[in-house]
Amino acid sequence: MRYTIQDFNREFPDNDSCLQYLFNQRFSNAVCPSYGKAGNYHRQANTSHFVCSCGKHQTSPKKDTIFENSSSDLYKWFFAIFLFSNSKNGVSAKELQRQLGVTYKCAWRIAKQIRSLFSENTEPFNGTVEVDETYIGGRAKGKRGRGSDKKTPVVGLVEREGSVRAVVTENVKSSPVMPLIKDNVKKGSVVMTMNIELLIMALSSM
């Protein structure tokens, strides 16, 4: 059964539930080094730390994870991971910025960290890169192709003799596409496309 947004919101309604889940996954049977037995840990008020009932040991479930040095709410990280897990073509930093309500810089950093866990290649393309658009979706009545509300716009990037990336976007206008090109194409690369609008956007972002 597919894990839906409703399922996510029930399981992780807030930051506290995310922190408790992370602790349970990592330290549910943790042995307190001072007590010498499985500790009875409780959340320390107004912090992300959990303290053993002996009062001599504390730990953070975020330690040694991608969340450790982040000031962003754990809920936003969890939601970003949910978005990645439900997307076949990845999630752009621009989309994360919109969904999480954070700065583009923060969204880019979160996306990079999550991709590293998924073993995705986060290095920008170099050399000659082909960029083009397509629209995904079954047959439907009404307008077809560009501008159709029945199709999902996808921007594809192909590195000559290299990797391929396909990213779902809101549309193929400059606002979502320019950050995508900046994220995925190294400055100084040769960008080739049959779409003149994409070419103009690519050249202006190099």
Per residue in 146-193, pLDDT (tens digit) is: 555 556 777 878 887 667 777 777 776 666 777 777 788 888 787 777
Residue type, 36: G
pTM of the model: 0.56
Classified as helix, coil or strand, 178 is helix
Rounded to the nearest angstrom, the gap between the alpha carbon of residue 161 and the centroid of all alpha carbons in its chain is 27
Distance, CA of 110 to CA of 80 (rounded, Å) = 8
Which residues sit opposite 159 in a β-bridge? Answer: 129
Task: Take residue 71 and report the two structure tokens written for it.
Answer: 């000031």
For the chain, domains (ranges, CATH) are 1-65 (no CATH), 68-122 (1.10.10), 128-205 (no CATH)
CB 157 within 8 A of CB 125: yes
Q: Quick: pLDDT tens for 107-154.
A: 999 998 888 776 556 678 888 888 877 776 545 455 554 555 556 777
Spell out the residues 6+ positions from residue 141 whose beta carbon is closer than 8 angstroms to its own.
Answer: none
CB 74 within 8 A of CB 47: no
